[in-house]
Amino acid sequence: MLIKEIVDVVKADVLTNYHDENTELKYGFASDLMSDVLAYACSEALLITGLNNPQVIRTAEMLDISVVLFVRGKRPGKEVIELAKENSLTILASDYTMFKACGLLVMNGMEGLEIDD
């Protein structure tokens, strides 16, 4: 799914814009536990979270995740935005709950990651 499509589907605000709106993200991965993100996510994923601290950006950086969507009306503070800018991350923010944002993204064609046990 293209970034511009994600923005439209979840009615997101673009807080930092470091990628072409036509950049495609293959998967969505939603979690507030950064340990789960580290264990299961990949660089082709949109990270969807309500956790609002610098650890989100550090985790995305470690996995080469390029776009983070903050949900539940969370708006990252100045420190998080500056860290995202330093790492050239695109940051989006939506008022939708995580459940609704994920549902809308899936209904519009985004895939989830397959987790092998």
Q: Average pLDDT over the chain, rounded to whole?
A: 94
Domain boundaries, the chain: 3-101
Instruction: For residues 106 and 15, give the distance between their C-alpha atoms in angstroms, rounded to a whole number.
Output: 23
Topology (CATH level 3) of domain 3-101 = 3.40.1390
Q: Which of 69, 19, 17 minimizes the C-alpha distance to 41?
A: 69
pLDDT in tens, 10-67: 999 999 987 777 889 999 999 999 999 999 999 999 999 999 999 999 999 999 999 9
Region 73-89: mean pLDDT is 95
Asked if the model's pLDDT at residue 107 lies above 80, the reply is yes
8 A C-beta contact, residue 70 and residue 76 = yes
The predicted pLDDT at position 117 comes to 58
13 CA to centre of own chain: 12
The predicted pLDDT at position 69 comes to 98
